Amino acid sequence: MLSIDEARDVVLGATRPLPPESVPLAEALDRILAAPVTAVYDVPRFVNSAMDGFALRAGPAGRTLQIVGESRAGAPASTTVGPGDAVRISTGAAVPEGADAVVMVERTREQDGGVHVEVETTAGQNLRHPGEDMREGTVVIAPGARIGPAELGVAANAGVATLRCFRRPRVVVLATGDELVPPGAPLGPGQIHDSNALTLAALARRAGAEVAHAGEVPDTPEATEAAVRAALTMADVLLCSGGVSVGAHDHVKPALAAAGVEERFWRVALRPGKPTWFGVRRQQLAFGLPGNPVSAMVTFLLFARPALLALQGADPGTPRERKRLTRAVGRHAGRDECVRVSLDGAEATPTGPQDSHVLTSMLGADALALVPRGEGELPAGSEVEVERLPR
Ligand code: AMP
Ligand code: MG
Phi, psi angle pair for 89, to nearest 5°? -140, 145
Considering every ligand atom, which ligand is closest to the CA of 194? Answer: 1
179 CA: nearest ligand 1 atom: 12
Domains and CATH numbers, the chain: 4-17+168-311 (3.40.980.10), 20-43+132-166 (3.90.105.10), 48-128 (2.170.190.11), 320-388 (2.40.340.10)
Q: Kindly list the protein residues that place their beta carbon closer than 5 angstroms to ligand 2, a single-atom ion.
A: 177, 242-243, 291
Phi, psi angle pair for 193, to nearest 5°? -80, 135
The pLDDT of residue 213 is 98
The pLDDT of residue 391 is 84
The pLDDT of residue 274 is 96
Query: Tens-digit pLDDT profile for the chain (391 aa)?
Result: 999 999 999 999 999 999 999 999 999 999 999 999 999 999 999 999 999 999 999 999 999 999 999 999 999 999 999 999 999 999 999 999 999 999 999 999 999 889 999 999 999 999 999 999 999 999 999 999 999 999 999 999 999 999 999 999 999 999 999 999 999 999 999 999 999 999 999 999 999 999 999 999 999 999 999 999 999 999 999 999 999 988 898 999 999 999 999 999 999 999 999 999 999 999 999 999 999 999 999 999 999 999 999 999 999 999 999 999 999 999 999 999 999 999 999 999 999 898 999 999 999 999 999 999 999 999 999 999 999 999 8
pTM score, whole prediction: 0.91
Ligand 2 centroid to Cα of residue 275, in Å, is 12
219 CA: nearest ligand 1 atom: 3
Ligand 1 centroid to Cα of residue 270, in Å, is 18
The pLDDT of residue 220 is 96
Pairing of strands 192-193, 37-38: unpaired
345 neighbors 280 (Cβ within 8 angstroms): no
Angstrom distances, CA of residue 123 to CA of 58, 93, 99, 100, 370: 5, 18, 9, 5, 63
* Whole-number Å distance between alpha carbons of 131 and 150: 18
* Whole-number Å distance between alpha carbons of 127 and 48: 6
Three-class DSSP labels, the chain: CECHHHHHHHHHHCCCCCCEEEEEHHHCCCCEECCCEECCCCECCCCEECCCEEEECCCCCCEEEEEEEEEECCECCCCCCCCCEEEEECCCCECCCCCCEEEEHHHEEEECCEEEECCCCCCCCCEECCCCCECCCCEEECCCCECCHHHHHHHHHCCCCEEEEECCCEEEEEEECCCEECCCCCCCCCCEECCHHHHHHHHHHHCCCEEEEEEEECCCHHHHHHHHHHHHCCCCEEEEECCCCCCCCCCHHHHHHHCCCEEEEECECEECCCCCEEEEECCEEEEEECCCHHHHHHHHHHHHHHHHHHHCCCCCCCCEEEEEECCCECCCCCCEEEEEEEEECCEEEECCCCCCCCHHHHCCCCEEEEECCCCCCECCCCEEEEEECCC
Ligand 1, CB cutoff 6 Å, lining residues? 175, 177, 179-180, 192, 194-197, 241-243, 245, 247, 290-293
Ligand 2 centroid to Cα of residue 235, in Å, is 22
Considering every ligand atom, which ligand is closest to the CA of 216? Answer: 1
Ligand 2 centroid to Cα of residue 359, in Å, is 17
Q: How far, in whole angstroms, is CA 276 from its chain's centroid?
A: 25
Ligand 1 centroid to Cα of residue 356, in Å, is 10
The pLDDT of residue 101 is 98
Considering every ligand atom, which ligand is closest to the CA of 178? Answer: 2
By most ligand atoms within 8 Å of CB, the mutation choice from 181, 216, 292 for ligand 1 is 292
* Whole-number Å distance between alpha carbons of 273 and 370: 13
Please name the residue whose Cα sits nearest to atom 16 of ligand 1.
Answer: 291
Q: Which of 372, 382, 239 is nearest to 301 (CA)?
A: 239
